[in-house]
C-alpha cells in the first residue's frame, strides 16, 4: 500500500468533501481517501493505482487533481478568481447604472444581452459546468441554484427582448453572478493562507546548522543532513536548529513562543533543548536527538494541520436547503407547465406561468443573503482591527458559550517588567542605575526590562565588563567591582520572591546590595474585558504553559474560575475538544506558537497581534493591541449572524409567498414573468440594503 497527498481544485463547500472522497474511494485499488477542505488536499491510500485514474474519477465530478502541487498553484487560482470577479463587475456595472431613473446611460437590449452573457456564461461559466456535471450524478448544490437562476433570468430576458418587451432581466442575471463571484474570491483568498501557519511554525527553526566534527571544527550544513548523534553549536542570539541534549556550554534559552514560559530558562550540560528556542548570553554544544520533520516544533505544526482537518466543516444553510429546494422547484415548474397546457390546450399560455415559477424562485436573494452580509461585515471588521481568515469561524464567534485564554502575551504583556526594587544595603541606593549600566548591551529579556525601568537615568560607564552565561554579568563602575545576576551567581539566597516573579541581585564583592524583582504584567484592559465577557454570560477559562502558581494568581486577580497551569499545546487542545464534545461552542484567544493547536481546534480561534505563526493558525486575527478589539469582534459577529438570519428569512419567505401565486397564475394579471423579474430585483435590493447596516457598527 502507498499513501500520497494530492491537491484538489474545485471544492466549494462541505458537500464537495463527501463527493471527492466518494469518487476517490470508488476507484478500484483505493483503500481509503480523506479530504481536508481547509488545505484542499486529499490523502489517498491505494495499491497499484495510477494517479491518472484518480484524476479521471474526479474530473467526471467536476474537480481537478493536481499530482505535482507547487506553491504557485494556489496563487494562480487566486489570480484567476480575481480576474473573473473583475470582469464580472466590469460588465455588470453598466447594466445596473442603466436601471437608475434619470440615468444618462440607456443601453440597447442587444448590448445588455451581450454584457450579461459575458458575466453569466463567461466569468460565471464554472457554475454551469459544475452544475451540469453534478446533474449527471443526480446531485444539486448551490452551483445548481446559481446556474438555474442566472440562466433562466438571462434566457427570459432574451425572449422578452426578441418580443419587444422593455422589462428585461439581464441586470438581475449579471448582478447575481457578480456578487457570488466576489464571495468565491474572498473564500479562495482565505484558503490560500490556510497553510501559512504550518510554514510559519517551521520557519521558527533555522534551515541550516553549525555541525561540529570530531575536532570541534564548525561546518554550516542544511538541517536536513543532520542525523541523531551529530553535534551542533548554537551561538548567542540564534535559534536552536534541532531537538537535543546540551553537551557543553551554558546559556539562557528563551522558549516563550514555544512553551508559554515568559522568562528565559538557564540551560547547562545535560539539559534538553528544542528547535526554535532562542539562545542568549552564551553558546551551546548540542547532541542531535531529532531534526527537521521529527522535531517537537514540526510535530506541533502537524497538530495544527490535524486540528483543521478533524474539524467538521459547517455546511452553508443555502447548500443544505438547495438539496431539496432545487428539485422541488423544477418539479413544480414542470407540473405548472403541464397543468396549464392541459387546461388551456395552448402551449403559448402554458410556458408563461412555468417560467414565472422558475424566475420567481430564482435564488438571487438566497445567493446574496450570506455573502453580501459577510462582505460588509469583513470590511467593518478590518476597520476595527480584526482580520478574518475563515468566515465560518467569524459566524461561530457570535454563538460561543465558552472562551478560553492563554496567559502569557494574552492577558499579560508577555515581557518582564520591573515590579519592585529592594535596597538591602546603604551602598545600594543607586541600585537601578548601576544595574541598568551593567545590562546596557545585553540582549537578555530581563536586561531589557531593567533598561526600560531606568529610562531617563544617566548611566555611568562600565569597565572590565564580562558576561557569565547562565549566571549574569560583572564589571567595574566608578571603581566598584559589581556583579549582577541570579542567586547562584551572586552566592546569596534571595528570600520572599513572589512565585510569579524572577529576582536579579546586585552584589559588590561579597555584599548583596539589593534585588530587582521582575515579572510579567497584566494587561491594563484585561479586567474590564473579562468582566464584560462574563456579563454576556460566557464561561471563561485560563489555560497556560506557565507554572501553576502564577496562573492561579492571575485567575484569582481577574475573577476567572477555571485556570490550569503547566499545559502543553496538546493539553490545551484536548481541553477544548472535551468542551466541544459536551456541546459547548468554544473560542480560544492566544498569541504564541504553543497556542497554535488550540487556536486551530477551537470553534473560533483568535490570535492577538505579534506572531505570524499564531496568526496563521488562527482563523481570526486581532491586529490592534489590547483586548478591546476582542469585544468589538464578538459584537460584530453577533450582529452579522442576526443580519444573515434576517436575509435568509426574507429570501425564503419571498419564495414561499410568491411561488404558489405564480404556479396558480395569479401573477399573470400583473405581468407574469415581468413582475417576477421586478420582484427578484426588489428581493435582492432588500437583502443588500439590510446587509449594509453592518457598516454602522
Q: Dump pLDDT digits (tens) for 476-485.
A: 998 999 999 9
Instruction: Place 311 in a pLDDT band, splitting at 50, 70 and 90.
Output: very low
Q: Which residues pair with 35 in a beta bridge?
A: 42
For residue 306, CA distances in Å to 33, 187, 195, 310, 312 come to: 15, 21, 12, 6, 12
DSSP state of 372: H
Give the cell for residue 598. 488550540
State the cell numbers at 523. Answer: 494587561
Confidence of residue 255 (pLDDT cuts 50, 70, 90): confident
Whether the per-residue pLDDT at 319 is higher than 60: the answer is no
Residue 312 has pLDDT above 50, yes or no: no
Q: Is 406 considered catalytic here?
A: yes
Pick the catalytic residue: 406, 500, 595, 603? 406
With beta carbons less than 8 A apart as the criterion, state whether 65 and 56 touch.
Answer: no
- Cell 496568526, residue located: 615
Is the distance from CB of 38 to CB of 93 less than 8 angstroms? no
CB-based contacts of 236, cutoff 8 Å, min separation 6? 251, 279, 280, 281, 282, 283, 443
Beta-bridge mates of residue 266? 252
- The answer to whether 643 touches 369, Cβ cutoff 8 Å, is no
pLDDT over threshold 50, residue 51: yes
Name beta bridge partners: 503.
517
- Nearest alpha carbon to residue 149 among 363, 429, 307: 363
Beta bridge partners of 588: 404, 605
Answer whether 35's CB lies under 8 Å from 8's CB.
Answer: yes
| Model confidence at 145: pLDDT above 70 | no
Q: What's the first-to-final CA gap in the chain, in angstroms?
A: 55
Give the closest residue to 303 by CA, choosing from 613, 605, 601. Answer: 601
CB 313, CB 35: distance < 8 Å: no
Closest residue by Cα to residue 636 from 696, 549, 568 = 696
Distance CA 593, CA 618 (A): 11
Instruction: Assign 188 a pLDDT band (cuts: 50, 70, 90).
Output: low
User: What does the pLDDT read at residue 22?
Assistant: 85
Answer whether 590's CB lies under 8 Å from 614's CB: yes
pLDDT of residue 426: 81
Residue whose C-alpha cell reads 473579562 in the numeric block: 530
Q: Which residue has the cell 441554484?
A: 145
φ and ψ of 565, to 5 deg? -105, 170
Cell numbers describing residue 656: 414561499
308 pLDDT tier (thresholds 50, 70, 90): very low
Amino acid at each position: 500500500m502507498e499513501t500520497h497527498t494530492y491537491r484538489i481544485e474545485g471544492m466549494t463547500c462541505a458537500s464537495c468533501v463527501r463527493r471527492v472522497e466518494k469518487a476517490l474511494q470508488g476507484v478500484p485499488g483505493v483503500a481509503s481517501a480523506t479530504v481536508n477542505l481547509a488545505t484542499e488536499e486529499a490523502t489517498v491510500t491505494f495499491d497499484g493505482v495510477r494517479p491518472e485514474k484518480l484524476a479521471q474519477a474526479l474530473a467526471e465530478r467536476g474537480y481537478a487533481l493536481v499530482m505535482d502541487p507547487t506553491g504557485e498553484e494556489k496563487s494562480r487560482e487566486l489570480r484567476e478568481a480575481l480576474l473573473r470577479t473583475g470582469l464580472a463587475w466590469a460588465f455588470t456595472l453598466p447594466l445596473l447604472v442603466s436601471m437608475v431613473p434619470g440615468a444618462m446611460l440607456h443601453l440597447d437590449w442587444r448590448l445588455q444581452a451581450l454584457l450579461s452573457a459575458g458575466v453569466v456564461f463567461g466569468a460565471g461559466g464554472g457554475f454551469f459546468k459544475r452544475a451540469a456535471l453534478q446533474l449527471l450524478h443526480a446531485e444539486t448544490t448551490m452551483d445548481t441554484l446559481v446556474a438555474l437562476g442566472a440562466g433562466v433570468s438571462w434566457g427570459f430576458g432574451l425572449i422578452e427582448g426578441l418580443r419587444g418587451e422593455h422589462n428585461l432581466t439581464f441586470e438581475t442575471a449579471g448582478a447575481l453572478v457578480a456578487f457570488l463571484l466576489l464571495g468565491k474570491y474572498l473564500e479562495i483568498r482565505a484558503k490560500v493562507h490556510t497553510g501559512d501557519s504550518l510554514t510559519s511554525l517551521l520557519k521558527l527553526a533555522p534551515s541550516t546548522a553549525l555541525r561540529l566534527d570530531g575536532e570541534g571544527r564548525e561546518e554550516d550544513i542544511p538541517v536536513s543532513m543532520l542525523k541523531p548523534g551529530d553535534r551542533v553549536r548554537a551561538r548567542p542570539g540564534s535559534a536552536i536548529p534541532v531537538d537535543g541534549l546540551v553537551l557543553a556550554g551554558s546559556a539562557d534559552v528563551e522558549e516563550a513562543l514555544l512553551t508559554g514560559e515568559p522568562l528565559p530558562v538557564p540551560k547547562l550540560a545535560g539539559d534538553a533543548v528544542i528547535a526554535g528556542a532562542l539562545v542568549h548570553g552564551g553558546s551551546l554544544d548540542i547532541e542531535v536527538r531529532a531534526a527537521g520533520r521529527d522535531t517537537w516544533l514540526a510535530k506541533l505544526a502537524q497538530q495544527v494541520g490535524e486540528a483543521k482537518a478533524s474539524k467538521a466543516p459547517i455546511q452553508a444553510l443555502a447548500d443544505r436547503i438547495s438539496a431539496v429546494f432545487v428539485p422541488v422547484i423544477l418539479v413544480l415548474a414542470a407540473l405548472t407547465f403541464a397543468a396549464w397546457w392541459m387546461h388551456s390546450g395552448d402551449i403559448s399560455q402554458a410556458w408563461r406561468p412555468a417560467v414565472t415559477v422558475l424566475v420567481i424562485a430564482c435564488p438571487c436573494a438566497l445567493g446574496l443573503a450570506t455573502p453580501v452580509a459577510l462582505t460588509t461585515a469583513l470590511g467593518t471588521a478590518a476597520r476595527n482591527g480584526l482580520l478574518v481568515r475563515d468566515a465560518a469561524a467569524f459566524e461561530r464567534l457570535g454563538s460561543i458559550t465558552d472562551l478560553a485564554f492563554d496567559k502569557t502575551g494574552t492577558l499579560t504583556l508577555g515581557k518582564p517588567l520591573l515590579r519592585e526594587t529592594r535596597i538591602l544595603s546603604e551602598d545600594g541606593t543607586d541600585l537601578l542605575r548601576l544595574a541598568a549600566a551593567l545590562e546596557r548591551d545585553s540582549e537578555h529579556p530581563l536586561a531589557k526590562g531593567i533598561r526600560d525601568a531606568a529610562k531617563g537615568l544617566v548611566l555611568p560607564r562600565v569597565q572590565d565588563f564580562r558576561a557569565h552565561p547562565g549566571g549574569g554579568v560583572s564589571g567595574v563602575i566608578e571603581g566598584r567591582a559589581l556583579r549582577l545576576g541570579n542567586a547562584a551567581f551572586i552566592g546569596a539566597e534571595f528570600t520572599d520572591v513572589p512565585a510569579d516573579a524572577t529576582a536579579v541581585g546586585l552584589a559588590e564583592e561579597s555584599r548583596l546590595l539589593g534585588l530587582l524583582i521582575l515579572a510579567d504584567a497584566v494587561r491594563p484592559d484585561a479586567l474590564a474585558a473579562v468582566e464584560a465577557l462574563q456579563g454576556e454570560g460566557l464561561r471563561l477559562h485560563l489555560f497556560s504553559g506557565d507554572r501553576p502558581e502564577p496562573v492561579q494568581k492571575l485567575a484569582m486577580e481577574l475573577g476567572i474560575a477555571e485556570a490550569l497551569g503547566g499545559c502543553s499545546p496538546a493539553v490545551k487542545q484536548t481541553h477544548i475538544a472535551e468542551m466541544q464534545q459536551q456541546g459547548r461552542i468554544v473560542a480560544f484567544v492566544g498569541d504564541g506558537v504553543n497556542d497554535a493547536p488550540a487556536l486551530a481546534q477551537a470553534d473560533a480561534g483568535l490570535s492577538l497581534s505579534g506572531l505570524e505563526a499564531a496568526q496563521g493558525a488562527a482563523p481570526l486575527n486581532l491586529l490592534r493591541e489590547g483586548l478591546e478589539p476582542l469585544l468589538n469582534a464578538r459584537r460584530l459577529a453577533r450582529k452579522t449572524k442576526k443580519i444573515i438570519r434576517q436575509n435568509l428569512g426574507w429570501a425564503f419567505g419571498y419564495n414561499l409567498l410568491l411561488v404558489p401565486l405564480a404556479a396558480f397564475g395569479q401573477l399573470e394579471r400583473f405581468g407574469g414573468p415581468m413582475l417576477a423579474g421586478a420582484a427578484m430585483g426588489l428581493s435582492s435590493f432588500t437583502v443588500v440594503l439590510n446587509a449594509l447596516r453592518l457598516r454602522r457598527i
